[in-house]
Amino acid sequence: MKPLTLPEPLASFKPEIGLILGSGLGFFADDRIEVVGRLPYGEIEGFPVSTVEGHAGQFVYGTIGGKRVICMQGRFHFYEGYSMPEVTLPIRLMHSLGVHTLFVTNAAGGIHRDYVPGDFMLLSDHINALGTNPLIAWQGDEGVRFPDMSEVYDGTLRAGLRDWAQSQGVDLKEGVYLATTGPSYETPAEVRAFATLGADAVGMSTVPEAIVARKLGLRVLGISCITNAAAGISKVPLTHEEVSETADRVRQQFADLLTAGIALA
């Protein structure tokens, strides 16, 4: 991979923590961060540009509770037609800037029968059902060839956030996230199959970024907002509007959870 040349002042900002803001959480960057600067993806040479409505497509960097963070306001999805190296390029960039901990957030459909829309789920683990892997044909000599994935989502950070949630009376679920490519939602038969495989929630992101982050030695924490009951569990057809509405409704609680996580990192 060609080394990325980064514009100043981001290059000397030296962020410690990276955040990927999923559906509905884009406001976090403007609301919760003391913003130092913004960098639209379009201004970074060799960077893909995000296409989905509602995804601004820029890095926002600044501080939160004294910690230096860099947020992706808008991420790249495989279903948009980006290659796996493109989807995960921002993680490599964050790593090259010095980021040591990555928070990944997303919207997901609930498979676990106890989950209701508006719940939050810490990722305890994931199932990669994308049919590919972002490390295939990896260009670069960072990390090991066959990285261990036995604890993708950091156990210490998870325990800390569980404790915080309990102390605040926040009902925080913890479960397995399964990633499909999308962009079609699942069939009820697929959802039943995923439940049998051990999945508690299903979505179309996060796994590529988490795999690359682990390859590069970053600590990772993942949080899903359960925006809907997965197909077949829900009696009504799924729509992107339902996903967006739920994500918007609980965005302040989501932001509180993320802020608490950052304080632990």
Give the Å distances, CA to CA, from 61 to 43, 88, 181, 263.
15, 18, 29, 16
Contact of 177 with 207, CB cutoff 8 Å = yes
Residues with Cβ within 8 Å of 200's Cβ and at least 6 positions away in sequence, in order, are: 110, 111, 112, 115, 121, 173, 175, 176, 177
Q: How deeply is 115 buried, as exposed, middle or buried, from its count of CB atoms within 10 A (0-12, 13-18, 19+)?
A: buried
Based on its alpha-carbon atoms, the radius of gyration of the chain, rounded to whole angstroms, reads 17
Does the annotation mark 205 as catalytic?
yes
Does the annotation mark 240 as catalytic?
yes
Show the site string, 193-212: x = touches ligand HPA by CB under 6 A, - = not.
---------xxx--------
* Closer residue to ligand HPA in complex, CB, 70/204: 204
Q: Of the residues 174, 234, 240, 263, which is catalytic?
A: 240
Q: Of the residues 50, 128, 205, 224, which is catalytic?
A: 205
N residues, the chain: 265
Quick check: 109 binds ligand HPA (CB under 6 A)?
Answer: yes
Residue 216 CB, nearest approach to ligand HPA (Å): 26
CA 14 to CA 16: how far, in whole Å? 6
Does the annotation mark 204 as catalytic?
yes
* Phi-psi domain of 198 (left: phi exceeds 0; alpha: psi -120 through 50; beta: other): left
Quick check: 107 binds ligand HPA (CB under 6 A)?
Answer: yes
Contact of 104 with 177, CB cutoff 8 Å = no
Amino acid at 108: A
Instruction: State which residue has the least CB distance to ligand HPA.
Output: 109
Quick check: 64 binds ligand HPA (CB under 6 A)?
Answer: no
Contact of 128 with 211, CB cutoff 8 Å = yes
Q: Of the residues 61, 72, 77, 115, which is catalytic?
A: 77
Residue 186 CB, nearest approach to ligand HPA (Å): 6
Quick check: 87 binds ligand HPA (CB under 6 A)?
Answer: no
Among 28, 185, 194, 254, binds ligand HPA (CB under 6 A): 185
Among 228, 254, 262, 265, binds ligand HPA (CB under 6 A): 228
* Closer residue to ligand HPA in complex, CB, 16/242: 242
Residue 13 CB, nearest approach to ligand HPA (Å): 32
Does the annotation mark 201 as catalytic?
no
Taking CB under 6 A as the criterion, which residues in 231-260 touch ligand HPA? Answer: 238, 243
* Closer residue to ligand HPA in complex, CB, 101/206: 206
Quick check: 33 binds ligand HPA (CB under 6 A)?
Answer: no
CA 44 to CA 61: how far, in whole Å? 15
Q: Crossing angle of helices 84-97/207-215, nearest 10°?
A: 50
* Binding footprint of ligand HPA on the chain (CB under 6 A): 107-109, 185-186, 202-204, 227-228, 230, 238, 243
Catalytic positions are 23, 55, 77, 79-80, 107, 204-205, 228, 240
